[in-house]
């Protein structure tokens, strides 16, 4: 059995089971960025449900330099897709806020508008929204809360980057999609530039506890600790009645 084949098969079975229990006949709605995660989640859903039940949504914010990768993916899979340019929504909302947004607010607004867009598509097309995060990103909080961190089902959130890539290869995606350098889509830097360590290093640490660079270990542990809230349900007060 090839690396990633067992995970692909098990994940496909999990997706089918989710839809049988949480929306028989519903469609999987996936935000397509052109990166490996959305590409592999889309491919898994096509294999599990059939291409007629998978809808891709491309959401550039104005001009997207790598939109051709997203177009390659939907063409390769043969899935129905919509293109929704969120630029006017981002600019319109930004213009209505009566103060200067912080850098973090400006960077996180587009992912949150994208998620609102996905749910608009989903609710209009009998859908369930796919979360496309992986374990490596979630481990260090590399996602936008109430943006790409949410969804109705999450096929890859317990798989590391290396494990997700293995699924992409065994499922037959073009190598350029599997190995596309991950860019955050917020400030134009690569994921690894922002994080300060490689995904290969992070994945090894997650799975084995082994790491060679102690400064990187300290940074990973710090990020993991301060971002736990993103993975937990919202705290709520429980009155003593």
- b/e burial code for range 201-231 (CB count within 10 A of at least 16 → b): bbbbbbeeeebeeeebbeebeebbeebeebe
At 153-204, the pLDDT tens digits run: 999 999 999 999 999 999 999 999 999 887 765 556 788 888 999 999 999 9
| pLDDT value for 185 | 58
At 10-28, the pLDDT tens digits run: 999 999 999 999 999 999 9
According to DSSP, the β-strands at 127-129 and 27-31 are: parallel
E strand intervals along the chain? 27-31, 54-58, 80-83, 127-129
Strands, sheet with 80-83, edge to edge from the N-terminal-most edge strand:
80-83, 54-58, 27-31, 127-129
Where does 5-181 sit in CATH, by number?
3.40.50.620
């Amino acid at each position: 059995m090839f690396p990633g084949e067992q995970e692909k098969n098990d994940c496909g079975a999990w997706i089918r089971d989710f839809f049988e229990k949480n929306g028989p006949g519903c469609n999987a709605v996936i935000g397509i960025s052109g990166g490996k995660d959305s590409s592999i989640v889309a491919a898994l859903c096509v294999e599990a449900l059939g291409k007629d039940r998978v809808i891709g949504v491309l959401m550039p914010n104005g001009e997207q330099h790598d939109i051709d990768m997203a177009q390659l993916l939907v063409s390769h899979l043969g899935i129905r897709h919509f293109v929704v340019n969120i630029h006017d929504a981002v600019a319109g909302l930004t213009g209505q806020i009566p103060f200067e947004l912080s850098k973090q607010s400006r960077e996180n607004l587009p992912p949150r508008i994208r998620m609102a867009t996905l749910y608009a598509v989903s609710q209009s097309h009998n859908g369930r929204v796919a979360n496309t995060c992986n374990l490596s990103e979630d481990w260090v909080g590399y996602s936008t809360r109430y943006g790409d961190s949410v969804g109705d089902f999450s096929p890859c959130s317990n798989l590391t980057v290396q494990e997700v890539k293995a699924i992409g290869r065994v499922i037959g995606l073009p190598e350029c999609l599997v190995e596309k350098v991950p860019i955050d889509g917020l400030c134009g830097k690569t994921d690894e530039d922002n994080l300060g360590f490689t995904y290969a290093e992070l994945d090894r640490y997650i799975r084995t506890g082994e790491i060679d660079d102690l400064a990187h270990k300290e940074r990973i542990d710090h990020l993991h600790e301060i971002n736990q809230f993103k993975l937990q349900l919202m705290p709520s007060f429980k009155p003593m009645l």
